Chain A
Amino acid sequence: MSATLHRILILIRKELIAVLKDPRSRLILLVPVVLQSLLFGYAATFDLNEVPYALLESDHSGAAKDFMAQVDGSGVFKRVVELRNAKQIGDVIGRKQALLVIHLPPDFERQIQSGRGAVIQVITDGRNSNTGNIAAGYVGAVVERFNATWSEQHGQVRPPLRIENRAWYNTNLETRWNMIPSLIAALSMLQVLMLTALSVAREREQGTFDQLLVTPLRPTEIMVGKAIPSILIGIAQSTIILTLARFWFGIPFQGSLVTLYLGLVLFTTASVGIGLALSAFSATMQQAMLYTFVLLMPMMLLSGLTSAISNMPQTMQYLTLANPLRYAIEMTQRVYLEGAGIAVLYNDMWPLVVIAAITLPTAVWLFRHRLV
Chain B
Amino acid sequence: MNAPSDTIVRSELPAQADAAAARSAVSWRRLRALVTKETRQLLRDKSNLMVGLFLPVVLILIFGYGLSFDIRNAPIAIVTDDTSPTALDVLAGFYLSPYFSVTQPTSMHEAQQLMLNRKVDAIVHLQSDFSRQLAAGNATIQVLVNGVDANRARVLQAFAQGAISQWAIKRAAAGEVSAMPVPAVSLQTRLWYNEANNSTYFLVPGLIVLVMTLNGALLTSLVMAREWERGTLESLFVTPVNSNEIIISKLVPYFGVGLAGLAMCLLAGKFLFAVPIRGSLLLIVAISMLYLLVSLSLGLLISAATKNQFLASQLALITSFLPALMLSGFIFDLHSVPAVIRGISRVLPATYYVEALQTLFLAGNEWGLIVKDGAVLVVHAVLLLVLTRLNTRKELA
Using CB atoms and an 8 Å cutoff, list the residues of chain A in contact with chain B. Answer: 24-25, 28, 32, 35-36, 39-40, 42-52, 67, 93-96, 99, 112, 115-134, 136-137, 139-140, 143, 146-147, 150-151, 156-171, 173-175, 177-178, 190-191, 194-195, 198, 282, 284-287, 289-291, 293-294, 297-298, 300-302, 306-308, 310-313, 316, 319, 330, 333-334, 337-338, 340, 344
Contacts and interface: CB of A to CB of B under 8 A. Distances in A.
Contact of A311 (B71, B329, B334, B337): B71
Given A42-B337, A128-B202, A306-B67, A160 B134 contact: yes
Contacts of B188: 119-122
Nearest to B58: A298
Contact of A338 (B74, B148, B313, B368): B148
- Which of A36, A194, A289, A334 is packed against the most chain B CB atoms within 10 Å? A289
A44 B369 CA distance: 24
A40 B149 contact: no
| Interface pairs A-B: 4 shortest CB-CB | A170-B147, A126-B194, A167-B147, A126-B191
A157 B153 contact: no
Interface stretch (B102-110, B155-163, B263-271, B285-293): B155-163
A356 B51 CA distance: 25
Contacts of B144: 166-168
Contact of B338 (A42, A308, A330): A42
Nearest to A49: B336
A136 B191 contact: yes
A10 B277 CA distance: 60
B259 interface: no
Contacts of A191: 314
B130 to A, nearest CB: 9
Nearest to B124: A163
Contact of A297 (B55, B152, B338, B364): B55
A194 B140 CA distance: 54
10 contacts: A43-B332, A112-B184, A125-B192, A126-B195, A131-B333, A159-B181, A165-B145, A177-B150, A286-B48, A307-B69
B51 A112 contact: no
Interface stretch (B5-13, B237-245, B303-311): B303-311
B202 A96 contact: no
A39 B326 contact: yes
B189 A308 contact: no
A330 B149 CA distance: 11
A137 B158 CA distance: 8
Given A129-B197, A130-B69, A140-B158, A308 B152 contact: yes
Interface in B309-332: 309-311, 313-315, 317-318, 322, 325-327, 329-332
Interface in B47-65: 47-48, 50-51, 54-55, 58-59, 62-63, 65
B90 interface: yes
Contacts of A313: 65-66
A164 B147 contact: no
A371 to B, nearest CB: 12
A176 to B, nearest CB: 8
B190 interface: yes
Contacts of B149: 178, 308
Contacts of A306: 67, 325, 331
Interface in B177-234: 178-195, 197-199, 201-202, 214, 218-219, 222, 226, 229
Given A48-B336, A293-B218, A198 B67 contact: no
Contacts of B340: 42
Contacts of B184: 112, 117-118, 146-147, 150-151
A146 B185 contact: yes
Contacts of B140: 161-164
Contact of B147 (A162, A169, A286): A169
B164 A161 contact: yes
A126 B362 contact: yes
B116 interface: yes
Contacts of A297: 55, 58-59, 214
Contact of A94 (B67, B69, B178, B366): B366
A40 B192 CA distance: 28
Given A160-B134, A168-B145, A139 B369 contact: no
